């Protein structure tokens, strides 16, 4: 799928402003939450590049933060559903990953060097000449199309290291498809402290990947542990609401647990499939 919205790209692609502090590139991400289904979920994702750092995150996080700053509150919140919030120092492969697990917000570090095979194959998309590259990453095979005239060796998520900006990238099974749709030049380094390094008041707690898996398994084993603590064993009666349904008995709560576990299993299709948790 080739940049359906390429007409929206700003002509400043061709001349990168020396005065810009943040180069912002917006990608449309299509992903399959369930690999067995044909339907895609669509998200707009932001790649911010400045002289020191590269950040990748969902546009909905930016929108919620902008509304909070406009109205002077923290009432607007957003939980990322893609599992693709990362930041790294420019020209490195050391990523800091950010993730929501139930009520907690966590960060963990990974080294994600990608060994690209650059092909001589090119294609023309409007005025842009794109070159093909392939790689294996995260247990998937990837095809990327990049432009050597845009002087950033960056792309969406962790897909960096090519001699030019990635315009399009997808895995060969088409579970994840990214297309560049827009660019912006910002006159300052854009702060993400409230929605990347923190999640609207919850500062990211540093953990490692082993701890991340442990937390995710604990959530799976009892996704309503907090609600369970409110259960009054003396009268065997609950007064809680889950997804709009009032839960009155322990049996009803356990039924909700099983239902949530089925959902977690169904949508267990992370971009780095080799790190998928086996529930």
At residue 78's C-alpha, the angle toward residues 6 and 171, to 5°, is 45
pLDDT score for 2: 45
pLDDT score for 76: 86
d(CA 81, CA 216): 14
At residue 223's C-alpha, the angle toward residues 140 and 248, to 5°, is 145
Q: Which of 67, 49, 84, 88 is nearest to 200 (CA)?
A: 67
Q: What is the pLDDT of residues 32-45, one digit of tens each?
A: 999 999 999 999 99
CATH 2.50.20 residue window(s) in the chain: 6-202
pLDDT score for 241: 79
Average pLDDT of the chain? Answer: 90
pLDDT score for 158: 98
Confidence band of 248 (pLDDT split at 50, 70, 90)? confident
pLDDT score for 12: 45
pLDDT score for 133: 98
For 253-262, what is the mean pLDDT? 94
pLDDT score for 8: 47
Task: Reduce the DSSP state of residue 219 to 3 states and report it.
Answer: helix
Tell which CATH classification among 2.50.20, 2.40.50, 3.30.2310, 2.60.40 matches the domain 6-202.
2.50.20
pTM for the full predicted model:
0.91
d(CA 52, CA 113): 18
pLDDT score for 111: 97
Confidence band of 19 (pLDDT split at 50, 70, 90)? low
Structure-model confidence comparison of residues 89 and 229, the more confident one? 89
User: Which residue blocks in 35-170 are alpha helix, DSSP H?
Assistant: 59-71
d(CA 26, CA 31): 16
Q: What is the pLDDT of residues 147-183, one digit of tens each?
A: 999 989 999 999 999 999 999 999 999 999 999 999 9
């Amino acid at each position: 799928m080739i940049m359906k919205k390429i007409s929206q790209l700003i002509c400043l692609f061709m001349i990168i402003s020396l005065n810009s502090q943040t180069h912002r590139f917006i990608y449309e991400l299509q992903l399959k939450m369930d690999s067995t289904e044909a339907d895609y979920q669509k998200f707009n994702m932001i790649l911010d590049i400045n002289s020191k750092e590269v950040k990748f995150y969902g546009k909905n996080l930016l929108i919620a933060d902008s509304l909070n700053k406009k109205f002077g509150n923290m009432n607007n919140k957003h939980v990322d559903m893609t599992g693709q919030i990362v930041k790294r120092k420019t020209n490195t492969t050391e990523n800091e990953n950010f993730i929501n697990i139930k009520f907690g917000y966590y960060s963990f570090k990974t080294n994600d060097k990608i060994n690209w095979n650059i092909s001589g194959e090119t294609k023309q998309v409007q005025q842009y000449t794109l070159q093909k590259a392939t790689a294996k990453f995260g247990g998937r095979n990837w095809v990327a199309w990049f432009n050597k005239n845009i002087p950033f060796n960056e792309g969406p998520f962790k897909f960096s290291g090519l001699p030019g900006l990635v315009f399009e990238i997808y895995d060969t099974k088409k579970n994840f498809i990214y297309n560049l749709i827009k660019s912006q030049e910002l006159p300052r380094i854009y702060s993400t402290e409230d929605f990347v390094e923190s999640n609207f008041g919850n500062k990211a707690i540093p953990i490692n990947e082993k701890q991340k898996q442990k937390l995710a398994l604990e959530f799976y084993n009892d996704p309503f542990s907090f609600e369970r603590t409110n259960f009054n064993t003396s009268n065997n009666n609950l007064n809680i609401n889950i997804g709009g349904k009032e839960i009155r008995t322990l049996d009803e709560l356990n039924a909700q647990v099983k239902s949530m576990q089925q959902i977690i299993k169904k949508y267990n299709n992370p971009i780095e499939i080799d790190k998928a948790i086996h529930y």
